[in-house]
Structure 1
Amino acid sequence: MGFSPWQLLIILVIVALLFGTKRLRGMGSDLGEAIKGFKNSVSDDDKSEQPKQIDAEKSDAVDTSKSDDKTESR
């Protein structure tokens, strides 16, 4: 059960009449900027987490070897 192209066109015309083209353009640009910001923040988080994960793995390996030394000395 989908919409035919004519039904979508009628809905778009009604929305344009209700809100006006100027307001729709503003809402569209705001939505585009929000999506860009979200994508940038997600990609920045991925880039910043990768070094942290590697550092955490290295520190875990160092911590494990230190705990082994403590158990051997007892």
Structure 2
Amino acid sequence: MSLGPWQLIIIALVILVLFGRGRISEMMGDFGKGIKSFKQGMNEDESAQAKPTGSIEGPAVDASPEKQPGKTADRTD
């Protein structure tokens, strides 16, 4: 069973009567804002992945007790 043009017109009129023209336009405006926000978020995500993080690494540090200044290694001779 398919919907013909007259059935679609009747459904549209019933929706218009139930919600009113102002409410439908408000919902469509909110829907458009949501899509715009989603696209903007996707573009920000793609640009964040393309940019390097720019982290600066210091020299490698050996944490062994023999090489730490001011500490003596426990040796058993």
Superposition TM-score, scaled by structure 2 size: 0.58
- 2:7 aligns with 7
Which residue is 1:18 aligned to?
Answer: 18
Structure 2, unaligned runs of 5 or more: 54-77
How many aligned residue pairs are there? 53
Q: CA deviation at 1:7?
A: 2.2
| RMSD between superposed Cα atoms in Å | 1.7
Question: Identity over aligned residues, as a percent?
Answer: 36
Greater RCO, CA 8 A, separation 6+: 1
Following the alignment from structure 1 to structure 2, what is the Cα–Cα distance between the partners of residues 47 and 2? 45
User: Displaced runs of 4+ in structure 1, greater than 6 A?
Assistant: none
Residues 1:46 and 2:43 are matched in the alignment? no
The TM-score, its normalising length taken from structure 1, stands at 0.60
Per-residue deviation, 1:5 = 2.7
Taking the aligned partners of 2:48 and 2:6, their CA distance within structure 1 comes to 47
Consecutive unaligned residues in structure 1, runs of 5 or more: 56-74
- Bigger Rg, which one: 2
